[in-house]
Amino acid sequence: QKEVEQDPGPLSVPEGAIVSLNCTYSNSAFQYFMWYRQYSRKGPELLMYTYSSGNKEDGRFTAQVDKSSKYISLFIRDSQPSDSATYLCAMRVNTGGFKTIFGAGTRLFVKA
Amino acid sequence: EAGVTQSPTHLIKTRGQQATLRCSPISGHTSVYWYQQALGLGLQFLLWYDEGEERNRGNFPPRFSGRQFPNYSSELNVNALELEDSALYLCASSRGTLGANEQFFGPGTRLTVL
């Protein structure tokens, strides 16, 4: 079993839709949870990160962490064609050398 | 502020050869991370350097090695290349250990092994 599971998609939605992207994980020691966006032929860019459980909002993006269920989500409101990209979740544990584990990424297409 | 830069953009090698990939971090960043992004496998952590020392290593064979220079730039060396080493190699940097949650990525080097 992978430490981090993420549905690769693709996920196709109409412009203006609310998008929900999710990851599950198996290591209860993870403390930091990140979401990255990667456009084609580019490196990933950090969207937001959260520590422990709870919600964090930044503009149209909301990150949610449920440590009891080992489940994290990224919500995108009022999705735009420019949001079309691959979204990667990532997690870190501050033991054993601060290793970051990435999900495989979900490809999102927002249709105009 | 200049971002993370990587060179070369593309690299084509044959099986058994050696590849050297280079990374320059954002000014002020002391930590450099290397990842392999193979098709369908997501980002796999390779190496982490901070202040010139290797801090952590992923589950890759010893033929993957690297170093960090006094100016915090880094290079990744892959010896005895195999076909499955073909991938996008991404470098990221952060403000040292405490900034590791905010890694800034470069555009990557596309390595093709024939």
Please report where in the chains the tokens 């998008």 appear, as a residue. Answer: A19
Residues B45/B32, Cβ–Cβ less than 8 Å: no
- Report pLDDT for A29: 86
Q: What are phi and psi of B112, to 5 degrees?
A: -120, 125
Cα–Cα distance, B30 to B48 (Å, whole number): 11
**Residue B42: is its pLDDT beyond 90?**
no
For A65, the token pair is: 């962490």
Partners of A104 on chain B (C-beta within 8 Å) are 40-42
- Report pLDDT for A97: 60
Distance from CA of B14 to the nearest CA of A (A): 23
Task: Name the band, by pLDDT with cuts 50, 70 and 90, for residue A95.
Answer: low
Task: Name the band, by pLDDT with cuts 50, 70 and 90, for residue A3.
Answer: confident
Please report where in the chains the tokens 């050696």 appear, as a residue. Answer: B18
pLDDT digits (tens, 9 = 90+) for B65-90: 999 999 999 999 999 999 999 999 99
Mean pLDDT of chain B: 93
Enumerate the β-bridge partners of residue A61: A58, A76
Partners of B48 on chain A (C-beta within 8 Å) are 97-99
**Residue B98: is its pLDDT beyond 70?**
no
Interface of B with A in 87-106 (CB under 8 A): 90, 92, 97, 100-106
The amino acid present at A27, given as its one-letter code, is N
Q: Which residues contact B60 (CB under 8 A, 6 or more apart)?
A: B36, B44, B46
